[in-house]
Amino acid sequence: MKRQIGILIVLSALLAVLGSYIYKKEDAETITPAETPEVAESSSEVIVAAPPYAIGDAVRDFSLRNINGKMVSLASYPSARGFIIVFTCNHCPFSKSYEDRLLLLDKEFAFKGYPVIAINPNDPEAYEEDSFENMKLRSEEKKFTFPYLLDDRQVVARAFDAQRTPHVFLVKKEDGKNILKYAGAIDDNPQDANGVSKNYIQDALGYVIGNKPVVTPTSKAVGCAIKWKN
């Protein structure tokens, strides 16, 4: 009798375990991906940022908002031979000191196929003077002849590895690609345009337009540190 009772207890325990397993399996089969965000998050694609450009690299096109509200990209200049891309801003004294020189660069080289494209990468939360509305005012005040774009996500500045304002990059169109030829300072005298002894960007443009290698392809940009978003 005791043996039969023992067998019944064992059988009852096995049935209980089997029933629990079947319940869990059926329950798991009814769970949708939306109900399991942990799995969805862990299986999501990991996006790895591309390394910043080096001299000789092909520059990817970008599309940024100009002060007139229109989007501007490198493709917006189908007849251009290249570009003078300058990361600058409103508040920085170094940027302000170079505004007239940028106007002269655009006047001299735009018709040769190398227009200036100015980009403000700064977080306006750090300096209200760098806001989009103030960019419009500054452009009107200085009568910029070139686009003044807002890199509000700071993606373009990071792609170029821009560090300062101003920080200039010379790009040349070659075989359908935009190749980086020079990166660094505009010249060697931020304070006094008349005291410049080395005009890095103009020298680089001379070599590029003459289809020659740039002798000094990089220099140290001098200016205000870019104000990155947290």
pLDDT at 90 over 70: yes
Would you say the pTM of this structure is higher than 0.85? no
54, pLDDT greater than 60:
yes
Percentage of the chain with pLDDT > 90?
A: 78
Q: What is the pLDDT, as a whole number, of residue 35?
A: 32
Between residues 120 and 38, which one has the greater pLDDT? 120
Confidence bin at 49 (pLDDT 50/70/90): low
CA-to-CA distance for 106 and 41, rounded, in angstroms?
48
Distances (CA, A) of 185 to 35, 102, 181, 192, 201: 54, 12, 13, 14, 7
What is the arithmetic mean of pLDDT over 205-223?
98
Residue of 89, 101, 85, 92 whose CA lies nearest to 189: 101
Residue 103 · residue 88 · CB < 8 Å = no
Residue 167, pLDDT > 80, answer yes
Query: Are the beta carbons of 142 and 108 closer than 8 angstroms?
Result: no
In percent, the amount of the chain with pLDDT more than 70 equals 79
Q: What is the pLDDT of residue 50?
A: 79
Residue 11 predicted with pLDDT over 50? no
- Evaluate the CA torsion angle 207, 208, 213, 215 in order and state its sign: positive
Average pLDDT on 220-225 reads: 98
CB 126 within 8 A of CB 91: no
Residue 155: which residues within 8 A CB-CB, separation 6 or more? Answer: 62
